[in-house]
Amino acid sequence: MRAVIGIIGLCLVIALALPLGLMLGKSVQGPKDEFVGLANYVRYFSTPALFQSIGNSLWVSILSTVITVPSAFFYAYALTRSRMPLRGLFKTVALVPILVPSLLPGLALVYLFGNQGLLKGALLGHSIYGPIGIVMAEVFTTFPHALLIILAALALADARLYEAATALRASRPRIFWTVTLPGARYGLISATFVVFTTVSALPGASPSRRCAAARPAGPSPPRRAARRRGPARPG
């Protein structure tokens, strides 16, 4: 049995280390696969625009995680610790983003919050083609993953602790802070890591890029104004 576990662990280590090793090897190679050492890193960190991309990625990842994990926790808490009707329907609706292609959520966000969207005013004058749209798309994408993890954590909670708290006549807020939240802490930690790594490592797979790609490609406002005025007359 130990040999089987060891073989499985070795396979997991190889599956993790091999792609990382290949990526690190590519990072010290040039366009023609020649060895260039740390030249790529020096060029990256010496370019302000590229270096700023790290800060932008961290900012989007942290903000998306801060929004997604608490939202998923309270959604899961309502599904598992309340008697709300149609809980199965609400759970199914929350998990739909996992099943649909990433293009559809991006188009939906554009149609709802774009320049001529139905809910354009909900952004209070801000444009969806920017940080707000990226964060909205990332939250929409990662919410189901965090919800599944937290649902599993709440489902595995020890019922004896709730019985003891009820027997001691503890209030519901006290039960939440002393029993529910500590019992779900590992699920919350796992959900936080999953959301953060997904947002920071896979931006191209989320609707954020789709949202930007779906932006209407019409002429710029100055050109449209020039077209309305017509061609300039010779003086």
Q: DSSP 3-state helix, strand, coil percentages of the chain (rounded to 5)?
A: 75, 0, 25
pTM (predicted TM-score): 0.71
Cα 105 to chain centroid, rounded: 13
Please tell me the predicted confidence (pLDDT) of residue 232: 47
Residue 193 lies in a domain: yes
Residue 81 lies in a domain: yes
- CB count within 10 Å of CB 8 equals 10
Q: pLDDT, tens digit, for every residue of 24-46?
A: 888 888 888 888 888 888 887 88
Residue 169 lies in a domain: yes
Please tell me the predicted confidence (pLDDT) of residue 221: 44
Per-10-residue mean pLDDT of the chain, 235 residues long, equals 86 87 85 83 81 84 94 92 85 86 80 79 78 87 93 88 86 87 90 92 50 46 45 46
The amino acid sitting at 99 is L
Cα–Cα dist 200/62, whole Å: 9
Residue 174 lies in a domain: yes
Helix 131-155 vs helix 103-113: crossing angle, to nearest 10 = 120
CATH number at residue 189: 1.10.3720.10
Residue 113 lies in a domain: yes
Residue 181 lies in a domain: yes
Please tell me the predicted confidence (pLDDT) of residue 202: 62
- CB count within 10 Å of CB 186 equals 12
The amino acid sitting at 131 is P
Q: Based on the structure, what is the number of domains in the chain?
A: 1
DSSP states along 140-173: HHHHHHHHHHHHHHHHTS-HHHHHHHHHTT--HH
CB 68 within 8 A of CB 137: no
Residue 35 lies in a domain: no
Identify the domain containing residue 77 by its residue range. 56-216
The closest alpha carbon to 178, from 161, 153, 154, belongs to 161
Checking 28-36 for CB contacts under 8 A at 24+ apart, the result is none
Sign of the CA dihedral 201, 207, 213, 215? negative
Tokens of 175: 């039960």
Residue 36 lies in a domain: no
